[in-house]
Amino acid sequence: MAFNLSLPKKSDAQTAVVPLWHPNFRNFERLPDTKVVRTTFFINTAAIAVTLGLLLWLGYNEYQIKNFGDQIADAQKQIDDNAKQNKEALRLSKIFADEQKKLAEAEAFQVIPIVPSGFISLLGETLPKEIAIDSVDGRLIGTPASPASFQLRGIVAGTPDQASGIASQYVDMLRAHETLGVVFDPITLNNLNRDARSNFLAFDITLKTRTGAKEKK
């Protein structure tokens, strides 16, 4: 009895192991994210971090602005307070300067070599009849560099030659006077010109107090 054994062909074996095929209908875009850490978590975390950073930056800027505003307000208040104090100090300083000036004038008036009333009285006693005094200007407050002085303005009657001689003699008489000559030095005839209104000669005499002169009555 004979047995007929045959080996299977290679092509037949390969055909037997080929898996069955079926269509894939999965929509990957709609499938849930099965990752351990989802992508949306990172996106949300980044968005929250950016938002918090912006809020912190905005809050810090607002704080800085408020801080600067407070500093400006404090500085302005200090400026206003200093301005009030400075204004008050200037007012008091002006009052003090005015009072000091009055005091200095009073002290200077007390030490002038001759009082104005006494000076006018002496002028009336020594005035020649040919001379008329129009005005007397006095500066009673003097300094060593610019002493107190009187200025006489008037006219001299007579012809030009006569008037000129009378004015010169009058100045010499003032210089030789027992009181005026001691109190005033120099005594100067400044101007001697024709007066258009009276047709006489107009004169201008300056009497400056002598340094260290003492009053005589």
Q: Is pLDDT at 203 greater than 60 in this prediction? A: yes
Residue 74's pLDDT is: 84
Average pLDDT over residues 150-179: 88
Query: Would you state the CATH architecture of domain 116-209?
Result: 2-Layer Sandwich (3.30)
pLDDT band of 43, cuts 50, 70, 90:
confident
**Lowest mean pLDDT, pick from 2-11, 48-57, 92-101, 203-212:** 2-11
Average pLDDT over residues 136-147: 68
Amino acid at site 115? V
Residue 213's pLDDT is: 46
Q: Is pLDDT at 18 greater than 60 in this prediction? A: no
User: Of 81, 104, 202, whose CA–CA distance to 153 is shortest?
Assistant: 202
Contact 143, 123 (CB under 8 A): no
Higher pLDDT, 36 or 95: 95
Domain boundaries defined on the chain = 30-110, 116-209
Cα angle at 158 between 152 and 161, to 5 degrees? 90
How far apart, in whole angstroms, are the C-alpha atoms of residue 187 and residue 11?
158
Residue 120's pLDDT is: 84
pLDDT band of 3, cuts 50, 70, 90:
very low
